[in-house]
Structure 1
Amino acid sequence: MNASAVDTNVQDRIAAMISVYGENGAVPARSQWEALMSLPADAPVTLLNFFKLRREAHYADGSGVSPCSGQEAFSRYAAVSAPGLEKVGGRFLLLAPFGFAFVGEDEDWDFVAAGSYPDRNAVLALFEDRDYRKAYVHRVAACERQKVLLCLA
């Protein structure tokens, strides 16, 4: 998808998010934001999140955040992200420890979360939320790796 297919207002919103979050693999890249925003405006969106947590959270030097485990850092993030999801009209469909791959290649994750959003703008609104932005540092510090898949449902 090219940038001309997404209107200027959306491009400005995406640029603002990239300026806050960056494009470091822990958040959507510009092309992924554009793909999200090219979806039908009223289509429900579900994000399937797979998380592998670090033993010790990795915060940037001078962050002022007290050291903790990856699990504790993720709990700090979840304390804000869960209410934030509800605030934009979404809800969790699943929060569960990862078991194993039943079909296909085996993967190693700690837990899985499926969040349902009423539409693409709700996803964008969550990332634009001031409290969510502040809490995202905990998600980045907590996760050794993550994978987020988007489903239209």
Structure 2
Amino acid sequence: MNVNNHLAQFIDWYGPGQDGSSPTQDQWKGILDRPRDKPLTLVNFFKFREEAIYREGVSEKSGQEAFAEYASVSMPAMQRAGGSFLHVGPFQGTFLGENEDWDLIAIGSYPGLDALIALYSDEAYRAAFPHRTAACARQKVIICGE
């Protein structure tokens, strides 16, 4: 499948990303245009809601509980895809630069673009992704690589 097919499929599955819950079309294109054989690392910053908010409305569970549901599926899906976590842990503050407020940091490493594509194409991962969206008041993902 070429970049444009992946781009259209991911936007169909995850939405246009205008609310910050998934990548925008330009962000998808930027990552899908990367060389397929170069490793990449994603640094994820998460701020949880007090109560998870799904499309149907506020849930009985907290944002942290909804995120745990997402993580219980996303971690094995990432391993199936060929990726691994370098670190997952609570945010403890800013050492240098502007102060920020996050709850959790997760650093995921992928041997190449195909592993990331495999993760976002995984049916179980796609089914769990709404828990991530419901859990997070905001999130930021930074791309690092060669």
Q: Specify the TM-score bucket, using the shorter chain as the normaliser.
A: over 0.9
Q: RMSD between aligned alpha carbons?
A: 1.6
CA distance, structure 2, for counterparts of residue 138 and residue 120 of structure 1: 24
Partner of 1:37: 32
What is the CA distance between 1:33 and its match in structure 2? Answer: 1.5
CA distance, structure 2, for counterparts of residue 70 and residue 99 of structure 1: 19
CA distance, structure 1, for counterparts of residue 90 and residue 77 of structure 2: 22
CA distance, structure 1, for counterparts of residue 140 and residue 56 of structure 2: 26
Same amino acid, percent of matched pairs: 50
| Equivalent in 47, 56, 60 of residue 51 of structure 2 | 56
What is the CA distance between 1:66 and its match in structure 2? Answer: 5.9
Q: Give the residue type in structure 2 aligned to 1:152.
A: G
What is the CA distance between 1:67 and its match in structure 2? Answer: 2.4
> What does 1:84-103 correspond to in 2, within 5 Å?
84-103=77-96
How many positions carry a matched residue from both structures? Answer: 144
Higher Cα Rg: structure 1 or 2?
A: 1
Deviates more, 1:73-82 or 1:31-40: 31-40
Structure with the larger strand share:
2
| Equivalent in 72, 75, 78 of residue 68 of structure 2 | 75
* Structure 2 segments unaligned to the other structure (5+ residues): none
| Contact preservation (8 Å) 2:63, 2:134 | yes
SS in 2 for 1:102: coil
* Structure 1 segments unaligned to the other structure (5+ residues): 1-7
Following TM superposition, the consecutive aligned residue runs of length 4 or more in structure 1 with deviations greater than 6 angstroms are none
| TM score, norm. by length of structure 1 | 0.89
Partner of 1:139: 132
